[in-house]
Chain A
Protein backbone atom coordinates (compact mmCIF):
# COMPACT_ATOMS: atom_id res chain seq x y z
CA UNK A 1 0.00 0.00 0.00
CA UNK A 2 1.32 3.44 -0.80
CA UNK A 3 0.16 6.69 0.73
CA UNK A 4 -2.19 7.53 -2.09
CA UNK A 5 -3.88 4.13 -1.65
CA UNK A 6 -4.28 4.99 2.02
CA UNK A 7 -5.72 8.39 1.16
CA UNK A 8 -8.25 6.78 -1.19
CA UNK A 9 -9.27 4.30 1.46
CA UNK A 10 -9.74 6.95 4.14
CA UNK A 11 -11.78 9.10 1.77
CA UNK A 12 -13.97 6.13 0.90
CA UNK A 13 -14.52 5.17 4.54
CA UNK A 14 -15.24 8.81 5.41
CA UNK A 15 -17.86 9.00 2.76
CA UNK A 16 -19.56 5.77 3.87
CA UNK A 17 -19.62 6.86 7.51
CA UNK A 18 -21.12 10.20 6.54
CA UNK A 19 -23.75 8.55 4.37
CA UNK A 20 -24.83 6.08 7.05
CA UNK A 21 -24.07 8.06 10.20
CA UNK A 22 -27.66 8.00 11.41
CA UNK A 23 -27.83 4.21 11.25
CA UNK A 24 -24.56 3.59 13.15
CA UNK A 25 -25.00 2.43 16.76
CA UNK A 26 -24.07 -0.20 19.33
CA UNK A 27 -21.16 -1.00 21.67
CA UNK A 28 -18.93 -3.06 19.37
CA UNK A 29 -18.87 -0.48 16.61
CA UNK A 30 -18.54 2.34 19.11
CA UNK A 31 -15.53 0.86 20.83
CA UNK A 32 -13.81 0.22 17.53
CA UNK A 33 -14.56 3.77 16.41
CA UNK A 34 -13.08 5.12 19.65
CA UNK A 35 -9.86 3.19 19.06
CA UNK A 36 -9.68 4.40 15.51
CA UNK A 37 -10.13 8.01 16.59
CA UNK A 38 -7.28 7.84 19.08
CA UNK A 39 -5.04 6.12 16.49
CA UNK A 40 -5.94 8.91 14.11
CA UNK A 41 -4.89 11.51 16.68
CA UNK A 42 -1.46 9.97 16.84
CA UNK A 43 -1.24 9.60 13.09
CA UNK A 44 -2.22 13.22 12.53
CA UNK A 45 0.48 14.33 14.92
CA UNK A 46 3.16 12.40 12.99
CA UNK A 47 1.78 13.63 9.73
CA UNK A 48 1.82 17.27 10.83
CA UNK A 49 5.38 17.18 12.01
CA UNK A 50 6.49 15.32 8.91
CA UNK A 51 4.88 17.86 6.63
CA UNK A 52 6.52 20.81 8.36
CA UNK A 53 9.58 21.24 6.19
CA UNK A 54 11.96 21.69 9.10
CA UNK A 55 10.82 18.39 10.48
CA UNK A 56 11.66 16.55 7.30
CA UNK A 57 15.22 17.91 7.53
CA UNK A 58 15.36 16.73 11.14
CA UNK A 59 14.28 13.28 10.03
CA UNK A 60 16.84 13.20 7.28
CA UNK A 61 19.59 14.16 9.71
CA UNK A 62 18.49 11.39 12.07
CA UNK A 63 18.46 8.91 9.16
CA UNK A 64 21.92 9.99 8.16
CA UNK A 65 23.19 9.44 11.70
CA UNK A 66 21.70 5.93 11.65
CA UNK A 67 22.90 5.14 8.12
CA UNK A 68 25.47 2.56 7.06
CA UNK A 69 27.80 5.44 6.15
CA UNK A 70 27.62 6.68 9.77
CA UNK A 71 28.16 3.23 11.11
CA UNK A 72 31.40 2.95 9.17
CA UNK A 73 32.79 6.47 9.28
CA UNK A 74 31.33 8.42 12.16
CA UNK A 75 33.53 8.63 15.26
CA UNK A 76 32.97 10.55 18.44
CA UNK A 77 35.82 12.88 17.46
CA UNK A 78 34.09 13.73 14.21
CA UNK A 79 30.82 14.35 15.97
CA UNK A 80 32.55 16.69 18.40
CA UNK A 81 34.05 18.58 15.49
CA UNK A 82 30.64 18.74 13.83
CA UNK A 83 29.13 20.08 16.99
CA UNK A 84 31.75 22.83 17.31
CA UNK A 85 31.61 23.82 13.65
CA UNK A 86 27.87 23.59 13.13
CA UNK A 87 26.44 24.48 16.52
CA UNK A 88 29.36 26.30 18.14
CA UNK A 89 29.08 24.07 21.20
CA UNK A 90 31.04 21.28 22.82
CA UNK A 91 29.51 17.83 23.25
CA UNK A 92 29.71 16.41 26.75
CA UNK A 93 28.88 12.79 25.98
CA UNK A 94 31.71 10.31 25.76
CA UNK A 95 29.99 7.42 24.03
CA UNK A 96 28.84 7.55 20.46
CA UNK A 97 25.16 6.76 20.92
CA UNK A 98 24.74 9.41 23.61
CA UNK A 99 26.77 11.90 21.58
CA UNK A 100 24.48 11.36 18.60
CA UNK A 101 21.44 12.12 20.74
CA UNK A 102 23.12 15.19 22.18
CA UNK A 103 24.13 16.34 18.70
CA UNK A 104 20.60 15.94 17.34
CA UNK A 105 19.20 17.87 20.29
CA UNK A 106 21.71 20.66 19.82
CA UNK A 107 21.22 20.92 16.06
CA UNK A 108 17.44 20.91 16.33
CA UNK A 109 17.57 23.54 19.03
CA UNK A 110 19.74 25.80 16.90
CA UNK A 111 17.74 25.09 13.71
CA UNK A 112 20.96 24.09 11.92
CA UNK A 113 19.72 20.87 10.30
CA UNK A 114 20.86 21.83 6.82
CA UNK A 115 24.36 22.70 7.96
CA UNK A 116 24.63 19.48 9.97
CA UNK A 117 23.49 17.40 6.99
CA UNK A 118 25.98 19.16 4.76
CA UNK A 119 28.79 18.60 7.24
CA UNK A 120 28.08 14.88 7.51
CA UNK A 121 27.75 14.46 3.76
CA UNK A 122 31.15 16.06 3.26
CA UNK A 123 32.75 13.96 5.95
CA UNK A 124 31.38 10.75 4.42
CA UNK A 125 32.52 11.81 0.96
CA UNK A 126 36.04 12.49 2.21
CA UNK A 127 36.17 9.22 4.12
CA UNK A 128 35.72 7.06 1.02
CA UNK A 129 38.16 8.97 -1.11
CA UNK A 130 41.03 6.68 -2.11
CA UNK A 131 44.28 7.70 -3.67
CA UNK A 132 44.85 6.00 -6.97
CA UNK A 133 48.21 4.29 -7.10
CA UNK A 134 49.21 6.78 -9.78
CA UNK A 135 52.17 6.43 -12.12
CA UNK A 136 54.25 4.40 -9.71
CA UNK A 137 51.60 1.70 -9.55
CA UNK A 138 51.20 1.55 -13.32
CA UNK A 139 54.95 1.20 -13.75
CA UNK A 140 55.21 -1.58 -11.18
CA UNK A 141 52.33 -3.41 -12.84
CA UNK A 142 54.00 -3.17 -16.22
CA UNK A 143 57.24 -4.41 -14.72
CA UNK A 144 55.34 -7.40 -13.32
CA UNK A 145 53.97 -8.39 -16.73
CA UNK A 146 57.41 -7.99 -18.26
CA UNK A 147 58.96 -10.20 -15.58
CA UNK A 148 56.32 -12.80 -16.31
CA UNK A 149 57.40 -13.05 -19.92
CA UNK A 150 61.10 -13.59 -19.29
CA UNK A 151 62.87 -16.90 -19.66
CA UNK A 152 64.35 -18.32 -16.46
CA UNK A 153 67.84 -17.00 -17.00
CA UNK A 154 66.77 -13.47 -17.87
CA UNK A 155 64.32 -13.47 -14.99
CA UNK A 156 67.09 -14.44 -12.55
CA UNK A 157 69.28 -11.66 -13.92
CA UNK A 158 66.52 -9.05 -13.59
CA UNK A 159 65.73 -10.14 -10.05
CA UNK A 160 69.33 -10.12 -8.87
CA UNK A 161 69.62 -6.51 -10.02
CA UNK A 162 66.87 -5.47 -7.56
CA UNK A 163 66.99 -4.82 -3.84
CA UNK A 164 64.59 -6.67 -1.53
CA UNK A 165 62.75 -3.39 -1.00
CA UNK A 166 62.15 -3.13 -4.74
CA UNK A 167 60.94 -6.72 -4.90
CA UNK A 168 58.56 -6.01 -2.02
CA UNK A 169 57.11 -3.05 -3.86
CA UNK A 170 56.53 -5.08 -7.03
CA UNK A 171 54.91 -7.86 -5.01
CA UNK A 172 52.73 -5.57 -2.90
CA UNK A 173 51.36 -3.56 -5.82
CA UNK A 174 50.55 -6.73 -7.75
CA UNK A 175 48.46 -8.36 -5.04
CA UNK A 176 51.02 -10.78 -3.59
CA UNK A 177 50.77 -11.20 0.16
CA UNK A 178 53.94 -11.57 2.19
CA UNK A 179 55.20 -10.74 5.67
CA UNK A 180 58.32 -9.09 7.08
CA UNK A 181 59.72 -12.59 7.50
CA UNK A 182 59.30 -13.54 3.83
CA UNK A 183 62.86 -13.89 2.57
CA UNK A 184 64.26 -12.93 -0.81
CA UNK A 185 64.11 -16.44 -2.20
CA UNK A 186 60.48 -16.97 -1.26
CA UNK A 187 59.51 -13.55 -2.59
CA UNK A 188 61.27 -14.34 -5.88
CA UNK A 189 59.36 -17.61 -6.19
CA UNK A 190 56.04 -15.85 -5.57
CA UNK A 191 56.77 -13.11 -8.08
CA UNK A 192 57.90 -15.66 -10.68
CA UNK A 193 54.78 -17.73 -10.27
CA UNK A 194 52.19 -14.95 -10.32
CA UNK A 195 53.92 -12.80 -12.92
CA UNK A 196 53.92 -15.78 -15.29
CA UNK A 197 50.27 -16.37 -14.50
CA UNK A 198 49.42 -12.74 -15.23
CA UNK A 199 51.34 -12.90 -18.51
CA UNK A 200 49.27 -15.79 -19.82
CA UNK A 201 45.97 -14.66 -18.27
CA UNK A 202 46.25 -11.19 -19.77
CA UNK A 203 47.61 -11.83 -23.25
CA UNK A 204 46.59 -8.37 -24.43
CA UNK A 205 48.95 -6.83 -21.89
CA UNK A 206 51.75 -9.05 -23.15
CA UNK A 207 51.43 -7.83 -26.69
CA UNK A 208 51.06 -4.24 -25.61
CA UNK A 209 54.08 -4.16 -23.35
CA UNK A 210 56.51 -6.08 -25.52
CA UNK A 211 56.33 -3.79 -28.52
Chain B
Protein backbone atom coordinates (compact mmCIF):
# COMPACT_ATOMS: atom_id res chain seq x y z
CA UNK B 1 0.00 0.00 0.00
CA UNK B 2 1.33 3.46 -0.75
CA UNK B 3 1.20 5.10 2.62
CA UNK B 4 1.69 8.72 3.58
CA UNK B 5 3.39 9.29 6.91
CA UNK B 6 2.75 12.78 8.23
CA UNK B 7 4.15 14.41 11.36
CA UNK B 8 1.94 17.05 12.97
CA UNK B 9 4.35 19.45 14.61
CA UNK B 10 4.56 22.84 16.25
CA UNK B 11 6.56 23.73 19.28
CA UNK B 12 3.85 26.13 20.26
CA UNK B 13 1.31 24.36 22.46
CA UNK B 14 -2.46 24.28 22.15
CA UNK B 15 -2.57 25.17 18.45
CA UNK B 16 -4.71 22.20 17.43
CA UNK B 17 -2.16 19.50 16.59
CA UNK B 18 -4.16 16.83 18.35
CA UNK B 19 -7.55 18.13 17.18
CA UNK B 20 -6.39 18.05 13.55
CA UNK B 21 -4.83 14.60 13.86
CA UNK B 22 -7.89 13.05 15.48
CA UNK B 23 -10.49 14.68 13.27
CA UNK B 24 -8.73 14.39 9.94
CA UNK B 25 -7.96 10.74 10.74
CA UNK B 26 -11.58 10.00 11.61
CA UNK B 27 -12.88 11.80 8.53
CA UNK B 28 -10.42 9.96 6.26
CA UNK B 29 -11.66 6.67 7.71
CA UNK B 30 -15.36 7.54 7.70
CA UNK B 31 -15.86 9.42 4.44
CA UNK B 32 -12.90 8.40 2.31
CA UNK B 33 -12.68 4.73 3.35
CA UNK B 34 -8.97 5.05 4.13
CA UNK B 35 -7.00 2.89 6.53
CA UNK B 36 -5.52 5.32 9.01
CA UNK B 37 -3.10 4.95 11.93
CA UNK B 38 -2.68 7.61 14.60
CA UNK B 39 0.59 7.37 16.51
CA UNK B 40 0.44 9.32 19.76
CA UNK B 41 3.93 10.50 20.72
CA UNK B 42 2.97 13.07 23.33
CA UNK B 43 3.32 12.19 27.05
CA UNK B 44 0.11 14.20 27.58
CA UNK B 45 -1.52 11.36 25.60
CA UNK B 46 -4.13 13.71 24.20
CA UNK B 47 -5.08 11.88 21.03
CA UNK B 48 -5.28 8.62 23.01
CA UNK B 49 -7.55 10.23 25.59
CA UNK B 50 -9.63 11.92 22.90
CA UNK B 51 -10.44 8.51 21.43
CA UNK B 52 -10.41 6.28 24.52
CA UNK B 53 -12.22 6.53 27.81
CA UNK B 54 -9.65 7.21 30.56
CA UNK B 55 -10.31 3.95 32.42
CA UNK B 56 -9.84 1.93 29.27
CA UNK B 57 -6.73 3.89 28.27
CA UNK B 58 -5.17 3.46 31.74
CA UNK B 59 -5.73 -0.27 31.63
CA UNK B 60 -4.46 -0.59 28.06
CA UNK B 61 -1.22 1.32 28.58
CA UNK B 62 -0.48 0.11 32.13
CA UNK B 63 3.27 0.52 32.84
CA UNK B 64 3.64 1.87 29.30
CA UNK B 65 4.04 -1.53 27.71
CA UNK B 66 1.22 -1.35 25.18
CA UNK B 67 2.07 2.21 24.17
CA UNK B 68 4.59 4.16 22.13
CA UNK B 69 6.69 4.50 25.30
CA UNK B 70 7.77 0.88 24.87
CA UNK B 71 9.33 1.65 21.48
CA UNK B 72 11.66 4.23 23.03
CA UNK B 73 12.30 2.17 26.14
CA UNK B 74 13.31 -0.78 23.96
CA UNK B 75 15.75 1.43 22.06
CA UNK B 76 17.31 2.54 25.34
CA UNK B 77 17.47 -0.92 26.91
CA UNK B 78 18.40 -2.73 23.71
CA UNK B 79 15.31 -4.92 24.12
CA UNK B 80 12.46 -6.01 21.92
CA UNK B 81 9.40 -5.91 24.12
CA UNK B 82 7.14 -3.71 21.99
CA UNK B 83 4.42 -5.74 20.27
CA UNK B 84 2.61 -3.74 17.58
CA UNK B 85 -0.53 -5.89 17.47
CA UNK B 86 -0.94 -5.89 21.23
CA UNK B 87 -0.46 -2.16 21.51
CA UNK B 88 -2.85 -1.34 18.66
CA UNK B 89 -6.36 -0.04 19.44
CA UNK B 90 -8.78 -0.62 16.57
CA UNK B 91 -11.79 1.65 16.05
CA UNK B 92 -13.47 3.88 18.61
CA UNK B 93 -16.16 2.87 21.07
CA UNK B 94 -19.42 4.76 20.60
CA UNK B 95 -22.39 5.22 22.91
CA UNK B 96 -23.66 1.79 21.82
CA UNK B 97 -20.74 0.24 23.71
CA UNK B 98 -19.41 -1.24 20.48
CA UNK B 99 -16.70 -0.09 18.14
CA UNK B 100 -17.15 2.07 15.06
CA UNK B 101 -14.67 3.39 12.47
CA UNK B 102 -12.94 0.01 12.10
CA UNK B 103 -10.47 1.55 9.62
CA UNK B 104 -9.11 3.93 12.25
CA UNK B 105 -6.30 2.50 14.39
CA UNK B 106 -4.41 4.10 17.25
CA UNK B 107 -1.07 3.46 18.91
CA UNK B 108 -1.66 5.16 22.23
CA UNK B 109 0.85 7.11 24.30
CA UNK B 110 1.54 6.75 28.01
CA UNK B 111 2.70 9.17 30.70
CA UNK B 112 5.91 7.14 30.96
CA UNK B 113 7.05 8.93 27.77
CA UNK B 114 7.91 11.83 30.10
CA UNK B 115 10.95 9.88 31.27
CA UNK B 116 12.30 9.31 27.78
CA UNK B 117 13.74 12.75 27.01
CA UNK B 118 16.07 12.66 30.04
CA UNK B 119 17.53 9.28 29.17
CA UNK B 120 17.53 9.31 25.41
CA UNK B 121 20.80 11.17 25.06
CA UNK B 122 22.59 8.03 26.14
CA UNK B 123 22.16 7.12 22.46
CA UNK B 124 24.00 8.56 19.46
CA UNK B 125 21.97 11.28 17.67
CA UNK B 126 21.69 9.22 14.49
CA UNK B 127 20.40 6.25 16.52
CA UNK B 128 17.80 8.51 18.13
CA UNK B 129 16.44 9.80 14.80
CA UNK B 130 15.84 6.30 13.53
CA UNK B 131 14.00 4.81 16.53
CA UNK B 132 10.46 5.23 15.28
CA UNK B 133 11.22 4.44 11.66
CA UNK B 134 13.04 1.21 12.56
CA UNK B 135 10.30 0.08 14.93
CA UNK B 136 7.26 0.97 12.82
CA UNK B 137 8.37 1.59 9.25
CA UNK B 138 7.16 -1.81 8.07
CA UNK B 139 3.82 -1.54 9.91
CA UNK B 140 3.15 1.86 8.38
CA UNK B 141 2.88 0.20 4.98
CA UNK B 142 -0.46 -1.36 5.95
CA UNK B 143 -2.08 2.07 6.07
CA UNK B 144 -3.08 4.73 3.57
CA UNK B 145 -2.25 7.43 6.10
CA UNK B 146 -0.18 7.48 9.26
CA UNK B 147 -0.62 10.61 11.36
CA UNK B 148 1.97 11.28 14.07
CA UNK B 149 0.72 13.45 16.93
CA UNK B 150 3.78 15.17 18.40
CA UNK B 151 4.31 16.97 21.71
CA UNK B 152 4.65 20.78 21.70
CA UNK B 153 8.43 20.81 21.39
CA UNK B 154 11.14 19.84 18.93
CA UNK B 155 13.01 17.45 21.21
CA UNK B 156 13.95 13.87 20.43
CA UNK B 157 10.53 12.26 20.13
CA UNK B 158 9.44 14.89 17.66
CA UNK B 159 12.70 14.46 15.76
CA UNK B 160 12.04 10.73 15.39
CA UNK B 161 8.62 11.60 14.00
CA UNK B 162 9.99 14.09 11.50
CA UNK B 163 12.64 11.58 10.48
CA UNK B 164 10.10 8.88 9.69
CA UNK B 165 7.64 11.25 7.98
CA UNK B 166 7.18 11.95 4.29
CA UNK B 167 6.00 15.41 5.18
CA UNK B 168 5.27 17.66 8.16
CA UNK B 169 1.97 19.40 8.83
CA UNK B 170 1.95 22.53 10.99
CA UNK B 171 -1.28 23.44 12.78
CA UNK B 172 -1.33 27.16 13.41
CA UNK B 173 -3.40 29.68 15.37
CA UNK B 174 -3.39 33.03 13.57
CA UNK B 175 -1.72 35.49 15.90
CA UNK B 176 1.69 37.11 16.22
CA UNK B 177 3.08 34.68 18.78
CA UNK B 178 2.41 31.82 16.40
CA UNK B 179 3.88 33.78 13.52
CA UNK B 180 7.19 34.42 15.24
CA UNK B 181 7.31 30.77 16.31
CA UNK B 182 6.61 29.56 12.81
CA UNK B 183 9.60 31.34 11.31
CA UNK B 184 11.85 29.59 13.83
CA UNK B 185 10.09 26.26 13.32
CA UNK B 186 10.61 26.40 9.56
CA UNK B 187 14.32 27.06 10.05
CA UNK B 188 14.62 24.21 12.54
CA UNK B 189 12.97 21.75 10.16
CA UNK B 190 15.31 22.84 7.38
CA UNK B 191 18.27 22.24 9.68
CA UNK B 192 16.96 18.79 10.57
CA UNK B 193 16.60 17.93 6.89
CA UNK B 194 20.30 18.48 6.49
CA UNK B 195 21.19 16.41 9.54
CA UNK B 196 18.91 13.54 8.51
CA UNK B 197 20.03 13.44 4.89
CA UNK B 198 22.91 10.94 5.25
CA UNK B 199 20.57 8.46 7.00
CA UNK B 200 17.79 8.67 4.43
CA UNK B 201 19.43 7.36 1.28
CA UNK B 202 17.07 7.25 -1.65
CA UNK B 203 14.24 8.74 0.34
CA UNK B 204 12.75 12.18 0.19
CA UNK B 205 13.75 14.32 3.11
CA UNK B 206 10.81 15.53 5.16
CA UNK B 207 9.64 19.04 4.57
CA UNK B 208 6.79 21.21 5.77
CA UNK B 209 4.02 20.14 3.39
CA UNK B 210 1.14 22.18 4.72
CA UNK B 211 -0.04 24.60 7.36
CA UNK B 212 -3.49 24.24 8.83
CA UNK B 213 -5.20 27.16 10.50
CA UNK B 214 -7.16 26.33 13.62
CA UNK B 215 -9.24 28.32 16.14
CA UNK B 216 -10.27 30.71 13.35
CA UNK B 217 -12.93 33.35 13.99
CA UNK B 218 -14.56 35.38 11.27
CA UNK B 219 -15.25 38.45 13.37
CA UNK B 220 -13.73 41.69 12.17
CA UNK B 221 -10.29 42.11 10.67
CA UNK B 222 -8.25 40.32 13.28
CA UNK B 223 -7.84 36.84 11.85
CA UNK B 224 -7.76 37.86 8.19
CA UNK B 225 -4.89 40.22 8.90
CA UNK B 226 -3.06 37.57 10.88
CA UNK B 227 -3.48 34.97 8.11
CA UNK B 228 -2.24 37.54 5.60
CA UNK B 229 0.88 38.09 7.69
CA UNK B 230 1.38 34.33 7.73
CA UNK B 231 1.13 34.24 3.92
CA UNK B 232 3.63 37.10 3.66
CA UNK B 233 5.95 35.22 5.94
CA UNK B 234 5.57 32.01 3.94
CA UNK B 235 6.43 33.88 0.73
CA UNK B 236 9.53 35.36 2.34
CA UNK B 237 10.64 32.00 3.74
CA UNK B 238 10.18 30.47 0.30
CA UNK B 239 12.36 33.13 -1.22
CA UNK B 240 14.98 32.51 1.42
CA UNK B 241 14.92 28.79 0.59
CA UNK B 242 13.68 27.86 4.07
CA UNK B 243 10.24 26.72 2.88
CA UNK B 244 9.73 24.72 -0.28
CA UNK B 245 7.66 25.97 -3.21
CA UNK B 246 5.22 23.14 -2.51
CA UNK B 247 4.34 24.21 1.03
CA UNK B 248 0.68 25.23 1.10
CA UNK B 249 -1.66 26.93 3.49
CA UNK B 250 -4.63 24.56 3.45
CA UNK B 251 -8.17 25.85 3.39
CA UNK B 252 -10.71 25.98 4.85
CA UNK B 253 -9.55 27.37 8.17
CA UNK B 254 -11.00 25.39 11.04
CA UNK B 255 -13.23 27.63 13.07
CA UNK B 256 -13.61 27.60 16.81
CA UNK B 257 -16.52 25.27 17.55
CA UNK B 258 -17.73 24.31 20.99
CA UNK B 259 -18.81 20.87 19.73
CA UNK B 260 -15.19 20.07 18.94
CA UNK B 261 -14.09 20.96 22.47
CA UNK B 262 -17.01 18.98 23.89
CA UNK B 263 -16.24 15.91 21.78
CA UNK B 264 -12.99 15.44 23.75
CA UNK B 265 -15.03 14.73 26.88
CA UNK B 266 -17.16 12.25 24.97
CA UNK B 267 -14.03 10.52 23.63
CA UNK B 268 -15.25 10.67 20.06
CA UNK B 269 -14.07 12.49 16.94
CA UNK B 270 -16.48 15.29 16.09
CA UNK B 271 -17.70 13.48 12.96
CA UNK B 272 -19.23 10.83 15.23
CA UNK B 273 -20.17 13.07 18.12
CA UNK B 274 -21.78 15.98 16.23
CA UNK B 275 -21.75 15.26 12.49
CA UNK B 276 -23.94 18.27 11.72
CA UNK B 277 -21.75 20.78 13.57
CA UNK B 278 -19.64 23.49 11.95
CA UNK B 279 -16.57 21.73 13.32
CA UNK B 280 -17.42 18.43 11.61
CA UNK B 281 -18.11 20.32 8.37
CA UNK B 282 -14.85 22.25 8.52
CA UNK B 283 -12.92 19.02 9.08
CA UNK B 284 -14.80 17.33 6.25
CA UNK B 285 -13.78 20.08 3.82
CA UNK B 286 -10.25 20.22 5.16
CA UNK B 287 -9.87 16.46 4.83
CA UNK B 288 -11.01 16.67 1.22
CA UNK B 289 -8.27 19.22 0.52
CA UNK B 290 -5.85 17.04 2.39
CA UNK B 291 -6.67 14.09 0.12
CA UNK B 292 -6.37 16.32 -2.96
CA UNK B 293 -2.96 17.49 -1.78
CA UNK B 294 -1.50 14.07 -1.07
CA UNK B 295 -3.16 11.98 -3.73
CA UNK B 296 -3.10 14.12 -6.84
CA UNK B 297 0.37 15.61 -6.40
CA UNK B 298 2.60 12.65 -7.17
State the total of A-B contacts with C-beta under 8 angstroms: 110
Q: How many chain-B residues does the 8 Å CB contact rule pick out?
A: 44
24 chain-A/chain-B pairs, Cβ below 8 angstroms: A2-B90, A2-B99, A3-B99, A67-B31, A67-B275, A68-B275, A68-B277, A68-B284, A71-B280, A124-B284, A130-B251, A138-B235, A175-B224, A177-B224, A198-B228, A201-B179, A202-B179, A202-B229, A202-B233, A205-B235, A206-B236, A207-B236, A208-B236, A208-B239
* Other A-B pairs, 13, CB within 8 Å; known A124-B288, A129-B292: A2-B91, A3-B98, A6-B98, A60-B33, A71-B275, A125-B288, A128-B252, A138-B235, A141-B232, A204-B233, A205-B233, A205-B235, A208-B235
**A64 at the A/B interface (Cβ < 8 Å)?**
yes
Most chain B CB within a 10 A radius of its CB, from A68, A141, A174, A194: A68
Per-residue 0/1 for B26-52: is the Cβ within 8 Å of any A Cβ (1 yes, 0 no)?
A: 010011010000000000000000000
Interface membership of A69, Cβ < 8 A:
yes
**B220 touching A71 by the CB < 8 A rule?**
no
- B277 to A: closest C-beta gap in Å: 8
**Chain B residues in the interface with A (C-beta under 8 A):** 27, 30-31, 33, 90-91, 93, 97-99, 176, 179, 183, 220-221, 224-229, 231-233, 235-237, 239-240, 251-252, 271, 275-277, 280-281, 283-285, 288-289, 291-292
| Contact of A205 with B93 at beta-carbon distance under 8 Å, contacts A64-B31, A124-B288, A177-B224 already known | no
- Cα A68 to Cα B291 in complex, Å, equals 16
Instruction: Kindly state the separation between the CA atoms of A176 and B231 in the bound complex, as whole angstroms.
Output: 14
Contact of A68 among B33, B176, B251, B283 (CB under 8 A): B283
Chain A residue nearest to B183 (CB atoms) is A204
User: In the complex the two chains form, is B33's CB within 8 Å of A69's CB?
Assistant: no
Is A90 in the interface zone, CB < 8 Å from B?
A: no
Is the pair A71, B288 in contact by a Cβ cutoff of 8 Å? Answer: no
A130 to B, closest residue via Cβ = B251
- A17 vs B26: C-alpha distance when bound (angstroms): 40
Of B33, B91, B231, B275, the contact of A141 (CB 8 Å cutoff): B231
Q: Which residue of A lies closest to B275 (CB)?
A: A68
Q: Is A63 positioned at the interface, with any CB of B under 8 Å from its CB?
A: yes
Evaluate contact between B240 and A69: CB separation under 8 angstroms.
no
Give every chain B residue within 8 A of A174 (Cβ-Cβ).
225, 228
Answer yes or no: A72 CB below 8 A from chain B CBs.
yes
Q: Which residue of B lies closest to A69 (CB)?
A: B284
Q: Which B residues are CB-close (under 8 A) to A206?
A: 236
Nearest chain A CB to B62's CB is how many angstroms away?
18
The digit string for A176-211, where 1 denotes a CB below 8 A from any CB of B, is 110000000000000000100110011011111100
Closest to B274 in A: A68
A175 CA to B229 CA, complexed, in Å: 9
A177 to B275, CA, bound (A): 32
Q: What residues on B are CB-neighbors of A197 within 8 Å?
A: 225, 229
CB neighbours (8 Å) of B276 from chain A are: 68, 71
Query: How far is A79 from B79 in the complex, measured between Cα atoms in Å?
Result: 58
| A63 CA / B271 CA spacing, docked (Å) | 11
Is B237 a contact partner of A204 (Cβ separation < 8 A)? Answer: yes
Q: A129 — nearest CB in chain B belongs to which residue?
A: B292
